Amino acid sequence: MRAELEEKRAELQAERADLSASTGETGGISFGKRVGEGTSFAVERLSQVAAHDRLGAMQAEVVRALAKLDEGTYGRCDVCAEPIAADRLEARPWSIRCIRHAG
Ligand SMILES: [Zn+2]
C-alpha cells in the first residue's frame, strides 16, 4: 500500500512538473489581436491551471494518506473517523475521508 501511494505521489509530481513546463512561467493571459484566438488560448490556459490545481489537491491527499499509514488511521475518515468504504479505497487508495465528508 505504501509503495503504491508513493508511486502515485511521484506520478502526480511529474504530471504537475509537465504542466508547469507547458504553461510556462512567463504566464499571464494575453488576448491576441483576433478575439477568437485569444479566447481559446485563455480557455486552454485556464483549464491547464485548473488541472494543475486538481493535481495539487490530489497530491496533498496522497501525502496525507501516507501520513495516515504512519499514524495508523489509514482507511478511516479524517473528519468522523468512521471506516472508509472498501470500494472507495479500492478506486482511490489515497482516500482520506468517507463518502459523506469527501470533497
Ligand atoms: Zn466522515
**What letter does residue 4 receive in the DSSP assignment?**
H
Rounded Cα gap, residues 74 and 84, in angstroms? 9
In angstroms, what is the span from residue 18 Cα to ligand 1's centroid?
Answer: 34
Residue 76, strand partner residues: 83
Q: How many CA atoms lie within 13 A of 5 on its CB side?
A: 24
In angstroms, what is the span from residue 52 Cα to ligand 1's centroid?
Answer: 26
DSSP codes of every residue in 65-97: HHHHHHHT-TTB-TTT-PBPPHHHHHH-TT--S
**pLDDT tens digits, 36-53:** 667 888 888 899 999 999
In angstroms, what is the span from residue 98 Cα to ligand 1's centroid?
Answer: 4
In angstroms, what is the span from residue 92 Cα to ligand 1's centroid?
Answer: 15
In angstroms, what is the span from residue 30 Cα to ligand 1's centroid?
Answer: 43
**pLDDT tens digits, 53-103:** 999 999 999 999 999 999 999 999 999 999 999 999 999 999 999 999 996
Please state the domain extents for the chain.
Answer: 2-74
DSSP alpha helices (H): ranges in 24-85? 35-71
